[in-house]
Amino acid sequence: MADKTVKKVSDGNENIRSKDKKRGSGLERRLISLAFWPMILMGIVITIASYFIFVYNTQNEVRRNLTNAANSLRIHYDRTFPGDYTVEQDSKGQYKLLKGGTDISDTNEILDEFKAATGMEYAFFYLDVSMLTTIKDGNGERILYATAQPFVSDAVIKNNKTSFYNNIVLDKSKYFGIYLPLENADGTTIGMLFAGKSTYEVEKESMRAILWVPLITVIFSVIGALISTIPSKDIIKTINKEKKFLAEIAAGNLSASMDEKILHRKDELGDMAKFTQSVQRFIKDMIERDALTKLYTRRVGQSKINYTQYQLEEAGVHYCVCMADIDFFKNFNDTYGHDCGDLVLRETARIFNENMIGKGYTIRWGGEEFLVIYEDFDLDKAYAHLCMIRQKILENIIEYQGQKLSVTMTFGLTQGDNRSIDEVIKEADSLLYIGKQGGRNRIVTSRDASENKDELAGIREKQKNTIKI
C-alpha cells in the first residue's frame, strides 16, 4: 500500500515537472511576477504623484500666464487711455467707466482681442462691480454690474494686494483667476482687473498631459518581465544581496554598503539598488541629524566619538575635543521668543557645518551647547581653526523682526589622549566653564588651564552643583 502511495506521489511530481517545462520554471514565473506587479504598483504611485505634481506646476504656470496677461492688458490701457479711472452716470441712468476722462465702457474690442490671443477671460471692476468684461452669459450677453465676492474685494481693494484663486466662481462657472488692484495717481485703489481661465479647461489639459505616465509604466513593466526571464542564478544572487542590504537597514545598520557590481548594473535591479541606497542616505541623515540645526544628534555623535577614540588607540590618529556654548542664549529666548532662539541656533550651526567639512564633525550636545571633534588635529591646529570659526560667528549679523543681533560663543578645547572619551569631554566642559566664568566670548585650551591644575579640579567639583546659563 505504501509503495503505491509513493508511486502516486512520484507520478504527481513528474506531472508537475512536465507542466513546468511546458510553461517555464516556477522560479522564472515568480521572477516575472516580482518584476511585473511591484512595477505596476510603483506605476500607480508614480501616476498619482505625477498627477498632483503636474497639477501643482500647471497651477503655477497658469498663475504666471494670468499675471502676465493681466499686466499686459493694464499697461495697454494705461498707454492708450492715460489718466485716472472714474465712473459717471449718463442721461439714461447708465453707468460708464472712464479712464482719463475717456469712456472705455465700449472698448470691448480690445478685451476681445486679448481674449482671442490668450484664451483668457477679462473684466474691469470699479470697486467690486464689473464694468467691462469678456465673460458672457448663456444668451451671449456680457455680464456687467456683477459684484465680486467680498473676500476678493477685501483682499485686493482694501489690502491693495494682487490675489490668485484656483476655484473662483463667476456666473456659475469656476475659474483660475488673478485680480490686480487698479490704482489712480493718488495711490487710491479704485477697482480690480481680473484675468481668468476656466478650471475645466485647465484640468482637461492636465489630464491630457498626464496620460503618458500609465503608458510608460506599462512599457517598463513589460521590460522588467522580459529581463526577469534571464537565467536565474545571477538575478537570484543580485536579489539576495539587495535583500540582505535591506535587512541590514531594517535592523538598524544604516552604514551597510551595497555591492558595487549591483550599483553598476544597467537594468531595473541596478536602479532599485541606487534608489535603495538613496533611501538609506535619506533615513540615515534624518536619524543622525538634529532637525533644527542639521548637526549630528547626541546619540549618533556618541557612536562617532567612540570610533574616533578607537582610531587613536588603534592607529594613533590624534583628535581634539571642543565644548562650545552660545553666550547668553537664554536672553534671546526671553527677549525675542523661541523662534528667535531657533534662528540663532540654526545660523550658528550653519557656520559649523560649512567650516567643519574635512576637519571633523559637530554634535548638538545640549540645548545651545555644541561638541566639536577635530580628527587628525593637534591642539595648535584645532585652536587656529576654532579662532576662525569664532571670528565668523562674531561677524555674522542675524536679523530678526527688524533687530540686528550678534552672537558670541565660549569654547573649551582639549587634546584627546588615552583617557576615556568621557574624561576628555568632561575636561572640555570644564574649560568651557572657565571661559564662562572668565567673561565669555573666548577660547580656553587645556594648555591655558594646565598652569593651575587645582583651579581646574575645583571647577570640575563646582560644576556638579551649578546650572549653566
| Listed range (146-150, 375-379, 448-452) with the worst mean pLDDT | 448-452
β 121-126/129-133 pair status: antiparallel
pLDDT of 33-86, one tens digit each? 666 666 667 667 766 777 777 777 888 888 899 999 999 999 999 999 999 999
pLDDT: which is higher, 354 or 244: 354
pTM recorded for the entire structure: 0.44
pLDDT tier at 469 (50, 70, 90 boundaries)? very low
Dihedral of CA atoms 203, 208, 213, 218 in degrees, nearest 10, equals 130
313: number of Cβ within 10 Å: 9
Q: Supply the pLDDT for residue 2.
A: 39
As a whole number, the mean pLDDT across the chain is 81
- Residues forming CATH 1.10.8 domain(s) in the chain: 230-288
Q: Supply the pLDDT for residue 375.
A: 92
pLDDT tier at 229 (50, 70, 90 boundaries)? low
Helix count (H) and strand count (E) of the chain?
16, 15
Cα–Cα distance, 125 to 155 (Å, whole number) = 14
pLDDT tier at 407 (50, 70, 90 boundaries)? very high
pLDDT of 122-180, one tens digit each? 999 999 888 899 988 888 888 888 888 889 989 998 999 999 998 888 777 888 999 99
376-411 per-residue burial string, b: 16 or more CB within 10 A, e: under 16? ebebeebbebbeebbeebeeeebebeeeebebebbb
Q: Rounded mean pLDDT of 356-363? A: 94
Dihedral of CA atoms 235, 239, 245, 251 in degrees, nearest 10, equals -160
CATH of 230-288, one of 1.10.3470, 1.10.8, 3.90.320, 3.40.1000: 1.10.8
Q: What is the CATH number of domain 290-463?
A: 3.30.70.270
- Residues forming CATH 3.30.450.40 domain(s) in the chain: 83-199
CATH of 83-199, one of 3.30.450.40, 3.40.50.1370, 1.10.10.60, 3.40.50.10480: 3.30.450.40
Return the bridge partners of 121, or none: 196
Residues 6+ apart with CB under 8 A from 100: 81, 82, 83, 84
- Residues forming CATH 3.30.70.270 domain(s) in the chain: 290-463
